[in-house]
Structure 1
Amino acid sequence: MEHEMGVELTLTTKTLGDLLSATADAIRHIEAELRGCRPDAREHREFLEERLETHYRLNRTLGATHWSVQRQLGSEAPGFLNA
């Protein structure tokens, strides 16, 4: 049984940008780890691929949100995002 909980979260656009940078760094790190992964390490490779997909989704969502907020506020305006 799934439960949904509503949570209000306030982020500055700078924090949102920092989160975008962090997810991009994580993506690069996981991609490098995958390139160096042994061919016979199937379980580890699957684990890394799942993590990579999670970070891709998070990065796309954060990026779309960041772009939308920046567009609404103007690129130089400090702002807050209520999610």
Structure 2
Amino acid sequence: AKGLPKRTPRITAPVAAPRPRTGSVDAEALRRRLGGFRRGADAGRRDVEAELAERTGGHQAPSDPAVTSEETTGGTVEEASS
């Protein structure tokens, strides 16, 4: 009488298998679609990089690995949490 009600499982009808595709794939059409996707993804990355550069005022992350080493930053997250 106390607590949450007991779960009653529902029986569902089995799902029919998907139909096999009919016809062939046009390789050139697929290549064009994937190429368009790639160009769009590249353009999106460029837009984001430009927006981030605008927000940060052109400041760039240091490319020198010695500047961002564990010794200068104080170690890794795992070390800090233990």
Fold shared by both chains (TM-score > 0.5): no
Higher Rg of the two aligned structures: 2
Q: TM-score scaled by structure 1?
A: 0.37
Q: Name whichever structure is richer in helix by fraction.
A: 1
Q: TM-score scaled by structure 2?
A: 0.38
